Amino acid sequence: MGIALLIGSFILLILLRFPIALAMLLSSFITGLYLGVDLSALIQRMVGGLNSFSLLAIPFFILAGEIMNEGGISRRLINLSQVLIGKIRGGLAMVNVTASTFFGGISGSAVADTSSVGSVLIPMMRKKGYHKDYAVSVTVSSAAQGVMIPPSHNMIIYSMAAGGVSVGALFMGGLVPGLLLGLALLVITYIIAAKRNYPKGERIPAKDIPRIIGEGLLGLFTAVIIIGGIVSGFFTATESAAIGALYAFFITFFVYRDIPFSRLNVILQNTFNTLAMVLFLIASSSAFGWLLALLKVPTIVTEFLLSFSPNDYVTLLLIVFILLLLGTVMDMAPLILIATPILLPVATAAGMDPVHFGVVLILSLSIGLITPPVGTCLFVGCAIGKVSIEKTSKALVPFYITMVLVLILITFVPDIVLFLPEFIGR
Which of the residues in the chain have pLDDT under 50? none
Please tell me the distance from the alpha carbon of residue 4 to that of residue 88, in angstroms, as a whole number: 56
Range of the domain at 390: 2-423
Measured over all CA atoms, what is the biggest interatomic distance in the chain, rounded to whole angstroms?
Answer: 73
The 10s digit of each residue's pLDDT in 21-48 is: 888 889 989 988 888 888 888 888 888 8
Strands (E), 110-195: none
Cβ pair 390, 379 in contact under 8 A: no
Domain count, the chain: 1
> Which residue(s) pair with 89 in the sheet?
200
If we measure between CA atoms, which residue out of 155, 183, 181, 188 comes closest to residue 55? 155
- Residue 108: its pLDDT value, please? 63
Q: Structure pTM? A: 0.82
For residue 312, what are the contacts with CB-CB under 8 A and spacing of at least 6? 350, 351
Residue 106: per-residue pLDDT: 65
Question: How far is 209 from 246, CA to CA, in rounded Å?
Answer: 27
Q: Between the CA of residue 421 and those of 86, 168, 230, 328, 336, what are the distances in Å?
A: 33, 8, 12, 30, 21
How far is Cα 221 from Cα 268, in angstroms, rounded to an integer?
22
- The answer to whether the bond into 150 is cis (omega within 30° of 0) is no
pLDDT in tens, 123-145: 888 888 888 899 999 988 988 88
- pLDDT of 188 reads 93
Q: What is the DSSP string of 49-103?
A: HH--GGGGHHHHHHHHHHHHHHTTHHHHHHHHHHHHHTTSBTHHHHHHHHHHHHH
pLDDT for position 396: 92
What does the pLDDT read at residue 105?
61
Packing angle, helices 132-145 and 110-127, rounded to 10: 150
Helix (H, G, I), strand (E, B) or coil at 11: helix
pLDDT of residue 187: 92
